[in-house]
Amino acid sequence: MTTYADEATTANAPLTSRLFEPASLGDLRLPNRLVMAPMTRNRAAADGVPQPIMATYYAQRASAGLIIAEASTPNAVGQTYPNITAIHDRAHVAGWRQVTDAVRAAGGRMFLQLQHGGRVGHPDNSGLVPVAPSPVPLPDTIFTPSGHQPAVVPREMTIDEIHATVADFAAAARNAVDAGFAGVEVHGANGYLIHQFLAGGTNHRTDAYGGSVAGRIRFAVEVVRAVADAVGPERVGLRIAPGLTVNGIEEGDTGAIYPALLDALADVGLAYLHVVFADPGQPLFHDLRRRWQGTLIANPMLPWPGPLPADGGRREGERLLAAGADLISLGRAFLANPDLVERLRTGAPLNPVRDTGLMYVGGESGYTDYPTLDAVRRAETLAPAAA
Ligand SMILES: Cc1cc2nc3c(=O)[nH]c(=O)nc-3n(C[C@H](O)[C@H](O)[C@H](O)COP(=O)(O)O)c2cc1C
């Protein structure tokens, strides 16, 4: 039986593709249209400071058209899991500076994702009770240094806390630019704080930040506008995941929220909109494309949690380009293939993701030890001589 994975190999893909054409993003010139999707890898110190191994990891992947670095918290209470990266004090800026310097030296370009976890957090991770639009706990456990624990009931944010959080996002964006990032991506997806405000299931507020669609999009709009004011709209992207139910999200009215959100941001002049698990077969995808005049990054709908198709998502990416996306982001294929662009361009086989247990733990294994094609070839040449 031919499976999807058998068909979608790199070997039978045409060598020319729009994926490998250059593109512009604000002031940046991207050498190709492949974007490394943000991926939390939990290799920071306990206080959120990026470590030297992260400079190696990202520099290995510098041939991506653009790297969007992993979710980083803009304030202490926004911390989700242990050892995630942060960007709210000088030590974070200095740690990230080593990473952006290494990526720039390797010829790459990099944005940083800003993520406040909201109810996806735990006092054992941040030292603080998580905050959220409403006191609705995550219907799941949360990973902590002592293992998985039941989620706690988050504290409902006051209006003052909402305003302070908007300011924290703006300050974090300024820090990211100080750290050498070309821009930031506001994380409005995957069930974290901004998504919790958008979704009726997690936002039961009766004030200006809840209720109607106009109320529920208000926090997202204020964060994006504040971040754009802080660092310039051409340095800001927004990630959304319409309809995604991850982290217990129930939007209720997906078809109303996202068109309203995009219309409210239409005049800002953002660098891009990034749509997670984009499906070119869905009418909503086409509606968002019609409404969004700027650059659209699409993250294809690949089998989740896996296994990945053998082409890492190339065929789905090309379908999305044909449906109007400008850039394609891939996650796991970049995780396992530092030279993904070259492998896809030449039709070389991909490294599979080795061990998903290594995704969110410290250390080199499953992180910086995925080989490039050159390393594989060198090893093959040496092997007979050694035998
Ligand atoms: C290890 C891992 C960590 C992730 N961390 C983040 C993150 O920090 N922020 C985010 O928006 N998405 C995150 N994602 C989702 C990816 O950005 C991407 O949407 C997802 O992997 C699907 O793309 P793929 O099928 O090409 O892997 C993560 C995914 C993986 C596998």
Cα 197 to Cα 222: distance, rounded to the nearest angstrom: 12
- Cβ(202)–Cβ(252) below 8 Å: no
Give distance in angstroms: CA of 1 to centre of ligand 1: 30
Two tokens, residue 362: 């410290």
**For 17-61, what is each residue's pLDDT tens digit?**
999 999 999 999 999 999 999 999 999 999 999 999 999 999 999
**The predicted structure's pLDDT at residue 356:** 80
Give how far the C-alpha of residue 109 lies from the chain's centroid of Cα atoms, to the nearest Å.
Answer: 15
How far apart are the CA of 37 and the centre of ligand 1, in A?
6
Closest protein CA for atom 23 of ligand 1: 331
Predicted local confidence at residue 7, as pLDDT: 43
Atom 30 (ligand 1): residue with closest C-alpha? Answer: 39
Tell me the pTM. 0.95
CB of 361 sitting under 6 A from ligand 1: no
Q: Which residues pair with 339 in a beta bridge?
A: none
- pLDDT of the residue at 3: 36
Instruction: Dump pLDDT digits (tens) for 118-153.
Output: 999 999 999 999 999 999 999 999 999 999 999 999
Catalytic residue among 57, 58, 192, 370: 192
What are 185's strand-pairing partners?
A: 113, 237
The rounded distance, in Å, linking the Cα atoms of 302 and 307 is 9
Q: Cβ contacts of residue 190 below 8 Å, gap of 6+?
A: 241, 244, 246, 247, 276
Report pLDDT for 377. Answer: 87
Which residues have CB under 8 Å from 362's CB, separation 6+? 42, 43, 83
Spans in the chain with pLDDT lower than 50: 1-7, 387
Structure tokens at 16: 């020319």
Ligand 1 near 37 CB (within 6 A): yes
pLDDT for the residue numbered 361:
87
* Separation CA 240–CA 4 (nearest Å): 27
- In the residue annotation, 192 being an active-site residue is answered as yes
In contact, 287 and 260? CB cutoff 8 Å? no
Ligand 1 pocket test target in 19, 35, 40 with most atoms within 8 Å of CB: 40
Q: How far is CA 148 from each of CA 44, 68, 122, 307, 333, rounded to the nearest angstrom?
A: 19, 28, 10, 25, 27
Q: What is the pLDDT of residue 69?
A: 98
Give nearest CA residue, ligand 1 atom 2: 39
